[in-house]
Structure 1
């Protein structure tokens, strides 16, 4: 069983597949997100969100010495093709061959145009078969496809090649993300034997939610008690960040991979469940995202191609 790119996405809805990875030496980071009904797209919002397949993108973000890159170009349905095992958006595509997700990237960055081109291979250690509801009505769902994976990165532009451990999940929804939540904080950490995933935040209206899980090397999961709250400094855009850590331990920001007006993705040095680990962490402020000022900024980083 693989990621299943042929899911039905209803009007107002969304689907995305998310991969993150860090190089073995800790110097480089990668995130790739493939969207149907791109949740942060100003074009999808202005369209009335009637046709999710007409608003698709493959977002690529690379960080590291002499290897920074960002691309997220939205394309319409005439440039999209997908079935159970593959998803193509314009010149970029991802394909599940039964064992490995192969991602062919061919994008142009924005607002400064430069080529982002290469191949990423994601080889899961295990495949998760359980999806989790993030709200009582089940309008927003999260599926950890491969909580632990091996990732190989070979980029022609920028010229970089590395391998490291990674993570692969997917999210699905039947309404806009900002209709369901005000904010959230998410993190994942590879422990010596398990993978810890921590979710928490506020639903729209202020009701809190949280989810804390461990996945073993066979993909089996169980609930765990959330570690103690831990403060983090705000991002450069002053997005509030919060996380969890073993009592008495103060997490440290190693590097902020993505710093946007409503979103931050960060590498943390922390301690969880008795182990010193590096965690990938994200904070999302949907209150910020709703701001007309932020909405007016989005097209500069998320252009839409009409060819």
Structure 2
């Protein structure tokens, strides 16, 4: 939530700390301690703890480009989550996930647009990754994960189905059974080039609500949009640990 300098980073085998916030493994739970200030227009203190408890950890790494310059790493696609923030109404439990993307090039160097979705299912979670690369090729992958973390590629994923654009008119689609119309049920984040939301869809006859992302990298490359990041993401290059 805040850009900081190298002096604000500490890392061990079990803990990763950036400024006043940190992630650490405590038994089988990933414990995330947050102490930040949110960005405009609603500037406020964000403080508390999140516990992410995976049903299992996976060893899956999925290249997003043929040369492996971009990797998706679903560490734990099926988790329980406990949220306890110091604000009224921000304490709850539910389902969640833990993943990351890694790369050796900027995303906008290789992609024009992508969508991603992670949906809880009866036996675990199902993820879909669809992307358009700048070279004209496309990525379209579906993976099922069971509760033990075993992964199975979906040979014939459900068709891509468009649904309503975001508030900033970012195009969105996700996978859904033929004839089913996905829809957003909760907004999470809207930006001119990015949208995250809770989306309802239907997979193999099972209706489910999961997290969906849409990223428009053609817009992101625009010199008119990139300066907005400096406004939305606070910078604290001089932050230092007190000890």
The TM-score range, normalised by the shorter chain, is: over 0.9
- The answer (yes or no) to whether the contact 1:92–1:107 under 8 Å persists in 2 is yes
Alignment partner, residue 101 of structure 1: 30
Structure 1 pair 276/292, CA: closer, same or farther in 2 (3 Å)? same
- Report the number of matched residues: 236
TM-score (norm 2): 0.93
**Is 1:190 matched with 2:190?**
no
Deviation at 1:159, TM superposition (A): 5.6
CA distance in 1, matches of 2:137, 2:197: 25
Find the partner of 1:202 among 120, 132, 142: 132
Specify the SS of the correspondent of 1:129. Answer: coil
Residue aligned with 1:292, SS:
coil
| TM-score calculated relative to the size of structure 1 | 0.74
Contact 1:182 1:205 in 2 (8 A): no
Query: 1:287 Cα deviation (Å)?
Result: 0.7
Match of 2:226 in 1: 295
The whole-number CA distance in structure 1 between the counterparts of 2:223 and 2:23 is 33
Q: Which residue of 2 aligns with 1:24?
A: none
Equivalence map 1:242-261=2 (5 Å): 242-261=173-192
Other-structure match for 1:122: 52
C-alpha distance in structure 2 between counterparts of 1:259 and 1:158, whole Å: 23
Match of 1:228 in 2: 159
Partner of 2:84: 154
Displacement of 1:85 in angstroms is 1.8
Q: Unaligned regions of 5+ residues in structure 1, if any?
A: 1-71
Give the aligned partner of residue 15 of structure 1.
none
Question: Cα gap change, 1:158/1:301 in structure 2, threshold over 3 Å: closer, same or farther?
Answer: farther
Partner Cα distance (2:136, 2:46) in 1: 40
In structure 1, the residue matched to 2:169 is 238
Where 2:86 maps in the other structure, the secondary structure is strand
1:166-195, Cα deviation, whole Å (9 max, x unpaired): 011121111111112111100011111131
Unaligned runs of 5+ in 2: none
Correspondent of 1:139 among 54, 69, 72: 69
The match for 1:177 is: 107
